[in-house]
Amino acid sequence: MLRALHNIFRLGIKELFSLARDPVLVVLILYTFTVAVAVVSKGVQTEVRNAAIAIVDEDRSSVSARLRGAFLPPYFQPPQLIGYEEMDRLLDSGRVSFVLVIPEGFERDLLTDRAPVLQLNVDATAMTLAGNGTAYVQRIVQEEIARFLSRAEATTDYPASIVPRARFNPNLHSVWFLAVNQVINNVSILAVVLSGAAVIREREHGTIEHLLVMPVTSLEIMLSKVWANGLVIVFAAVASLFAVVQGALGVPVPGSLAVFALGAAVYLFAATSLGIMLSTIATTMPQFGLLAIPVFMILFLLSGGITPLEAMPDGLRLAMQASPASHFTAFSQAVLYRGAGLSLVWPQLLAMAGIGAAFFAFALMRFRATMAAVR
């Protein structure tokens, strides 16, 4: 047992030196956990910012003037006052995302309780902006109409009111969500890339034959690659959360980075095994890259980080329970967003460990077959 542990440790050190001598992978790690996190967090906006809006004002009344003046920066650009015949052209060209049509006689019908209707035309090709912006426009219009009616009438009775309270991200800043989520996704991507590249690199450089003549087993070789690449990714992820997310971007991380590192280490046991399994199917690095792309897409889009699992079809949601990425995303969001401790996230840790054991066993079987074929 001690000899096996010694072999695993020494082979892992060899993997670290081999990785350090690969400038492409070193630059990839640095870029993924620094520039990529900052650029995506700052560049992608899910809230409404500087949206272009136009207004077709056929009423030319005091209430329509109030509505025109209600759309203010930083959420909207100053509204363009256009004619009805210009609406389709502006929407088709993408120059505006919203066109609000105020019909003739709107104020008169509003004061006489005739329930007038406003028309909001939305460019839904920008899906996130369309959904969030529509809610913004509706709220602004409703509030301005309520203020107008409160001046026109003696009293305005509201039977109930809703006071929203956003927890964990009170100002709904997309940067707070995207920065942490990008680190979580990059852990999955690099785990597959580094572990798979380690095996492909051995094969392309011819060093796998050297391993075969050494008194080491396939299990020891595979475990050394898992712990060495996993250690690099955990260190890079924690450093990114501390230096880039908290330091450069100013995003608070209320959870424990130690608990996150523990969960990431358990998850990487499964993710690196997946990378090694893919490397036993591919024979060259280009083949491995093409094979890994659909795996990245599934891990990225269906893990629950972008789209909630509850919104997926029942069959797909159940199938994704077999993915360690789904449990890692739930674990990371609970720890990093909500400050959860081990007493709350142990089910996700247990699920990742169980799935990781299954992935590792299957990858080890494939790796042994590959080593036997080389012999």
- What residue ranges define each of the domains in the chain, with the CATH number in brackets? 2-44+173-374 (no CATH), 53-152 (3.40.1710.10)
The more confident residue out of 278 and 373 is: 278
Q: Is the pLDDT of residue 151 over 80?
A: no
- Average pLDDT of span 154-178: 76
Kindly give the residue spans of alpha helices, DSSP state H, lying in the chain: 2-20, 23-33, 35-43, 62-68, 87-93, 106-111, 127-152, 174-205, 208-212, 218-240, 257-281, 285-301, 314-319, 324-332, 342-374
Range in 261-270, 292-301, 313-322 with the lowest mean pLDDT: 292-301
CA distance 259 to 3: 31
Span 138-149, average pLDDT: 90
Supply the pLDDT for residue 137.
Answer: 94
Of 182-196, 225-239, 296-310, where does mean pLDDT reach its minimum? 296-310
Q: How high is the pLDDT of residue 157?
A: 58
pTM of the model: 0.80
Which range, of 63-72, 178-187, 241-250, 299-308, averages the lowest pLDDT? Answer: 299-308
**CA neighbor of 47 nearest in space, from 130, 165, 164:** 130
Strand (E) or helix (H) holding 56: strand 53-57
Q: What is the mean pLDDT of residues 366-373?
A: 76
Task: Determine the pLDDT at residue 154.
Answer: 44
Q: Is the peptide bond before 159 cis (omega within 30 degrees of 0)?
A: no
| Maximal CA-CA distance, the chain | 93
C-beta separation of 306 from 300 below 8 A: yes
Which residue(s) pair with 122 in the sheet?
A: 98
Share the mean pLDDT of the chain. Answer: 87
Q: What average pLDDT does range 128-148 have in this prediction?
A: 89
